[in-house]
Structure 1
């Protein structure tokens, strides 16, 4: 599988395994199955409530720790210097790991929730930089950061975020933000890659899928990775888990890419980082 080189030199596979709503024994088996099918990037978050499950799934797979790239995230209600240090240790304990490969600020502080959101994000980031310097985190990054949040962070950051994980799918792919991040050498990851299931109702995607003898989900994931963005599909179904990584035996044409680029808005979560927790 092709890998993208982060700005800190680490390499990430272009397809990862999402674990949102994967819990209990089913979740353990899903993570183990994903690893046996070739996934090496496993994505979780403190707020998912399944870090322990993910850790058990990694161990159940029998894979070497150095072959697995584990991402988890700091929840937006726990931002700040001291809180970040405490919450990170909790995540590390729940995952039962000695280090985290990629640690993300799940959502930025904003003016609606913090008196000085810029300082809150900066303090959080400083704690993450220290944890990285201590060797407890390999790469540090953000999630759901708009340009305004990134620019404020750059004023004090010693380390540029390696990753920005954003909502990215046909019908909502934040082109301006993507362009900005790429100029800053920040790698993008796509959450909700299948637009909350809305892609399965789209005729254009169905036609392209038929032309390649592939599924609609495979076409969407292929479109994402051809944009040089990391796709993180989630599933607990063994057949879907396998299908979602079978993306490297076909390629979308430039005309097909453009068609998907211009699909009307669909599947948007309504979540915006500058107004959370409200939806639009």
Structure 2
């Protein structure tokens, strides 16, 4: 199905797939996040191995199979991307900021679940069915009496996809970065500084979170000139780091890439997610 993406849309498709992958990794990587999820209800296409389905036993759950997760991500990303309106498939900074197109008004961010439903009217039903089957979402408009308690706190498919579409649009419409902070510069350091993948879109992570800059200077944890130290990370690793520890602990104990990689939990995640690779189109 990925072959259906035209060459001029490949960059945006990859942005969307990376955004989706980040959210899937967050929800599926149970051995690393210690979260409990409901069992899958069925096995949609493409079929995943039991290691990739959402396990319920945190102590005995195997690590999700990277190859199966990559296939599942590509399947969902392609089906969803192809369901987007052509304007959103080809969106860029110059079209986003063109006042004559009014795209920022039409697609005000962050997208709501209702707006997402409108945008994805052409979405193949197999996509929401797959999200439900693998315990990532609960059926839309399903009465509580017909569901199990384990699914009550799950998002609907639209609620699950809304932040993914928002993340995609945010990335695809971002202005070109300053010359000294380009992706090419980051790639010269072997890609993502956590997992090492060098073909993904990278973003910078403030090693000392911006939310606590004033506090760390006031308490003498770091000098003002150290506050802008950053690491270039893929979306999945960036989200993992912010789940790994809170802002203050990241600032006090994990303010360098070396300190992050010294933590066994981070190393295990990096080794696993580094094996999630996309097949050649």
Q: Same fold (TM over 0.5)?
A: no
Structure index of larger Rg: 2
Structure number having the greater strand percentage: 1
TM-score (norm 1): 0.26
Query: Which structure would you say has the larger RCO, counting Cα contacts within 8 Å and 6 or more residues apart?
Result: 2
TM-score (norm 2): 0.26
Structure number having the greater helix percentage: 2
